[in-house]
Structures are given as structure tokens and as C-alpha cells.
Amino acid sequence: MTTTTELPFIHRFTPAPAPGHPPLLLLHGTGGNEDDLLPLGPMLSPGSALLSPRGKVLEGGMPRFFRRLAEGVFDEEDVRRRAHELADFIAEAREAYGLAAPIAVGFSNGANIAAAVLQLRPEALAGAALLRAMVPLQDPPAADLTGKPVLILSGASDPIVPAENAKRLAATLKAAGATVEHRVLPTGHGLSQTDVALAKAWIEQL
């Protein structure tokens, strides 16, 4: 495993233990860091390279990938800036580590920034598994996501993400051409074993 700050984000990188698997971009939730989702990577795709950056925004000392004004209310100017910043990092990391375009696996705030990258810089990602995602941009630019696979896993009793909001995100990405699978699970905002099993099966069929 490599830890480096030479690239624009503090991050961890784990080379692929086997060829032929898509690299995973692991994006933590609020208060997480570059180590947070590393154990999840091999559970989802044992042969994949793992790239896990730490969000640059601090909220009460907790890392995030962009600013918010309140719970569920995002600073959309910052969302746009940070999404471009993350997309630039992905491009630099791909060159540094010899990676194909990654599949983003994002949880909560990490899922939201992944959705924003899809909408603003679709070339940066090969697809995305968005766990507990919300609409990151109320008025996103027209993006061509033709054929990009997207998995959205929502919690039926999630106190943070309204059901309508997650449905709207799925519809927006689908309208842009993405191949969207949206599942609502009988859980809250936290991840469950069902999330892991569904995401693993989804990655395996890519």
C-alpha cells in the first residue's frame, strides 16, 4: 500500500493484486478519511486496484469533499469546484499509477461528490456505485453518460436522504444516458451487509 501527498489529495493507493478488474475510487463519508473505505474495496472487488483520497474540506474538524450550508443543503459553487478538483486528481493518479478510468464507490458525502463528477466531468469515471447519495446539483449541466453503469443504494428509513431526492438523482442520471440500477433497502443511512453483497454483484457483472 502506498501513502503519498505528492498528488493534490492525501490518499492511499493499493495496486491491483490481479489483472482484469476495474480500479475502484473509494470516497468516504463525512468524518472519514483515506483509510475509511479501504477494507470495503477487497470485499467488493478482490482483484481491483484501490485509490482512496481524503476530502479537503473540514467541517468541525471532520473531512468532507465539499462544503454544505446545512444538513442536506449544499454549497453548490463549492460542489462544482471540488468536483473538478477531484476529477483532475483522478487524471493525475491514473497517469502516476497506470490506471484505467476507475469505478467510484462513494458513501454519503463521497457518493454525492461522485455524482457531481459524473455530471461535470463524466470522462473521469467509468461508472459509480453511489451508497446513500443525494442530488448534488439542483441544475446540473447537460452530460453525456451514455452507457455508464451507475448503482444507487438508498435506505428506506434514511433520516438524511429523502426518498424523493434519491429517486430524482436516479432519474437525472438515467436521462443523461447512464445505465442506472436504483435499489431501496430496508435500512437507514449506515451501510449493511446487503449493500456490500449488491455492490459486489454489480461490480462483478461490469
* CA trace torsion 190, 192, 197, 202 (10° rounding): -20
Question: Residues with Cβ < 8 Å from 73, sequence gap 6 or more?
Answer: none
Burial bucket for residue 200 (CB in 10 Å: 0-12, 13-18, 19+): middle
Angle between helix 163-175 and helix 109-120 axes, rounded to 10 deg: 20
C-alpha cell at 86: 477531484
Give the mean pLDDT of 167-189.
Answer: 98
Domain spans of the chain, in order of start: 2-204
Catalytic one among 78, 84, 189, 192? 189
Catalytic one among 108, 154, 182, 195? 108
3-state DSSP assignment of residue 6 = coil
Architecture of 2-204 per CATH?
3-Layer(aba) Sandwich (3.40)
pLDDT at 1 over 80: no
35 catalytically annotated: no
Q: Are 160 and 108 in contact (CB under 8 A)?
A: yes
Sign of the alpha-carbon torsion through 184, 63, 38, 169: positive
User: DSSP letter string over 141-195?
Assistant: PP---TT-EEEEEEETT-SSS-HHHHHHHHHHHHHTT-EEEEEEESS-SS--HHH
108 catalytically annotated: yes
pLDDT value at position 6? 80
Catalytic one among 45, 154, 158, 195? 158
The pLDDT tens digits for 9-66 are 999 999 999 999 999 999 999 999 999 999 999 999 999 999 999 999 999 999 999 9
The pLDDT tens digits for 179-194 are 999 999 999 999 999 9
CA distance 187 to 196: 13
189 catalytically annotated: yes
